[in-house]
Amino acid sequence: MSVNAREAILEAAKTAAQLHGYSGINFRSIGEVVGIKNASIYYHFPSKADLGAAVAERYWQDAAQVLEGIRQANPDAQRCLTLYPSIFRTSLESGNRLCLASFMAAEYQDLPDEVKAQVKRFAEANIEWLTEVLVSAGGADEERCKARARAIYAAVAGAQLIARSRGDIGLFDELIGSYVEAGLIALLTE
């Protein structure tokens, strides 16, 4: 099986997970989307857990690259915070999908351990990035910045969930605007 087929499998599984969660990762459906026999998927992914973990790992790594790109392109910490919700908005723009890690986090108790580890890593990558941005502004100590980072991550992921359940991306924007007005998505000051 070619590398292109492996990538196509990962992409199809990502889309399925963003629409239906871990339970949406179905070898037969993915095989139909990719145009291969579902048994051929086993060549690269011996189990659904292996495929789910690979998809979740790729997802957080891609998100981390996007976040790093935001940081590199925007030396201003407040601008980075302002752009942060865009990574969640992108999923909504793509067929009203939910962040894969958020969807899988809702199924957390039913996930295989290897998938749980990757879902945790997505949250950790987001919180680490937000903490670094907040710390770089020099407004507060690292612990306080990390607490704010967790709150921002949870709020933005929650806004995406609410907007998706209503099929209304404008609601996402409204909620993010409310967070900005309330000072949640802002630099900490002593």
What DSSP state is assigned to residue 188? -
Q: Are 55 and 14 in contact (CB under 8 A)?
A: yes
pLDDT of res. 190: 54
The CATH number of 53-182, from 1.10.150.130, 2.40.37.10, 2.60.120.620, 1.10.357.10, is: 1.10.357.10
Q: What is the pLDDT of residue 187?
A: 81
Any idea which residue has 């790109």 for tokens? 69
CB 88 within 8 A of CB 160: yes
The parts of the chain modelled with pLDDT lower than 50 are: 1
Go through 15-54 and write b for each residue having 16 or more CB atoms within 10 A of its CB, e for each that does not. bbbbeebbeebebeebbeebebeeeebeebbeebbbbbbb
Residue 1 is predicted with a pLDDT of: 46
Decide if 9 contacts 30 (C-beta within 8 A).
yes
